[in-house]
Structure 1
Amino acid sequence: MRTSLFFLLIFCSFISCNSKPAESNAVIATTSWTAAYAFAAGASNVTVLAPYEMVHPSEYELRPGDIGRLTKSNMIVYAGYEVMVDQIKAGLKIPEEKMVKISTSYNFTEIETSVMLIARRLGTEKIAKKNLEEIKQLLLKGQDDVHKKGLDQQPVLVHFFQESFAKEMGINPTMIFGPAPPEPKQILEMARTKAVLILDNAHNPVGGSVKEILKNSEYKLLLNFPGLHQTRTIADVIRYNTDQLTAK
């Protein structure tokens, strides 16, 4: 099935290349997370390939309808872990200069680097700097709220894909688990930590078995990709995750 789709995509790409010219300000983002970076950078015309409602956006595979948009775009923002990236590079002959690879995390330094990389390509540095300041202030407020709750002084278990956010909030994870489900030995090790909080990843939660052992611990599902719970931007996700951390 995947092989047939691959050849269909190649065929469609030849047809699409002979249609309308590229839109100078059009940005294609592989997922809602890379789209959030593009918006933060100041992009106003962003098309997202993986639907916002997908729980596992990185697993999205290209569809024939995506081909025209990809070939007409002057910029494709991706992170590198998406299934579709190999399809784009191998089958569509997209010029390398159109491909903008960024790092996605909730570490502010990484956010700033990736956002400004896109902004310099778009010529929207001023807008990007304003949006980055908002993001920075939200992270600082989150750190303050987490400190007031005392979570930065207590044992916390953190999913591998939520480590950057947890650390940005001032939390020093007692143990990291995932992305694969923890094995019995790991579950016992985590139980001995007597963690007061388990931070799991909403897009591939694997901490349920730990919660069964640490029954008195709080269990929170945090986001990476915007989309769930009416989130669309980096700022939205930071607000949502911070609310989850500090909710009583």
Structure 2
Amino acid sequence: MARTRVRIPALVALSAALLLTAACGGDKAGSDKASDDAPAKSSGEPGKDRPVVVVTTTWEGAFAKAAGAEDVKVIVPQSVHHAPDYDPKPSDLAAVAKADFVLYAPFEPYAAKIKEAAGSKAKLVEVNLDNDPDKVKAEVDRLGALFGTADAATKWKSGFDTEYGKLNKDLQAVRPGGKSPAVVSQVFTAWSAKLAGATVVGTYGPEAVTPAQLAELSAKKPALVLDNAHMSTGTVLPDSGARQVKIVNYPGEDLDLLPVYRNAAAELKKALGGS
């Protein structure tokens, strides 16, 4: 995943616009918030019962939803492939101002700036974005405890374990010769190798592969290269015979994490020669 940043002058201007709008207190401002900030509309309800959660991307949003959060507002739309291209709108800042929690990843330094610009008293929560199953469940547990939704988090984990086990079993059934394939993985897609029961013989990224790395990784004779669809550097090991598979880390707008695993399994199954 690429490091993300937002231009601070834009945030300052947006903050000023937000304060001016609030000072006017007109009906038009109220109608704008009603349409733009619908996911945060329950802020008038007791936060301890239904926390209002604002997240930077759908990835954090999926973690929050898995942990039991129901009122989740995503700042960066899924359609924005590179988050640095996105400038927060006044409605985004308004949503942050009403949040109980703001979730962000350590490589997204603009999250704190968004909170500061909106004057929010929300709790900033750093999320470890890694789709490794053990790390996912640990984060869901932690967030469930923070949100007061531990029961919902436990229920989600049970369903996740069932689905993950099924996908893993299906992929093991199509491995050539029943053996664990050797793979080279981008550093943020190693979780998909684990899903397939593959052996990671080398990693690369997030920078482009250097000639020295190319020679070293090719010498490992991997069957697959697991590329990061969100920050692909093109064909990683040309002329090596390895089949490159694009792995998607981010969930969709429904903030459902399970399709990420299903889609990865489908791509890996095709690459391994399955139907």
Question: What TM-score do you get using the length of structure 2 for normalisation?
Answer: 0.78
Alpha carbons 1:60, 1:84 under 8 Å: kept: no
**Among 192, 205, 223, the residue aligned to 2:232:** 205
Alpha carbons 1:17, 1:68 under 8 Å: kept: no
1:49 maps to what in 2?
Answer: 75
1:77 maps to what in 2?
Answer: 103
1:239 maps to what in 2?
Answer: 262
Is 1:91 aligned to 2:117, yes or no? yes
Which runs of 5 or more structure 2 residues have no equivalent in the other structure?
Answer: 1-5, 31-41
> Counterparts in 2 of 1:154-169, with a 5 A limit?
154-169=181-196
**Among 142, 149, 164, the residue aligned to 1:139:** 164
**Among 196, 206, 209, the residue aligned to 2:223:** 196
**Among 225, 245, 260, the residue aligned to 1:220:** 245
Aligned to 1:46, the other structure's residue is in SS state: strand
Aligned to 2:145, the other structure's residue is in SS state: helix
Question: What TM-score do you get using the length of structure 1 for normalisation?
Answer: 0.86
Equivalent residue letter for 1:198: V
Aligned to 1:42, the other structure's residue is in SS state: coil
2:153 maps to what in 1?
Answer: 128
TM superposition shift of 1:116 = 1.9
C-alpha deviations, 1:63-120, integer Å up to 9, x for none? Answer: 322111100111212222224214225534433x522222111222221221122222
Task: State the Cα RMSD in Å.
Answer: 2.6
Cα 1:22/1:44, change in 2 over 3 Å: closer
Distance in 2 (CA, whole Å) between partners of 1:183 and 1:193 is: 16
Distance in 1 (CA, whole Å) between partners of 2:160 and 2:20 is: 41
Cα 1:185/1:9, change in 2 over 3 Å: same
Aligned to 1:73, the other structure's residue is in SS state: coil
Distance in 1 (CA, whole Å) between partners of 2:167 and 2:80 is: 26
> Counterparts in 2 of 1:171-182, with a 5 A limit?
171-182=198-209
Alpha carbons 2:94, 2:118 under 8 Å: kept: no
2:38 maps to what in 1?
Answer: none
Identity of aligned residues (%): 24
1:4 maps to what in 2?
Answer: 9
Alpha carbons 2:93, 2:115 under 8 Å: kept: no
Cα 1:245/1:107, change in 2 over 3 Å: same
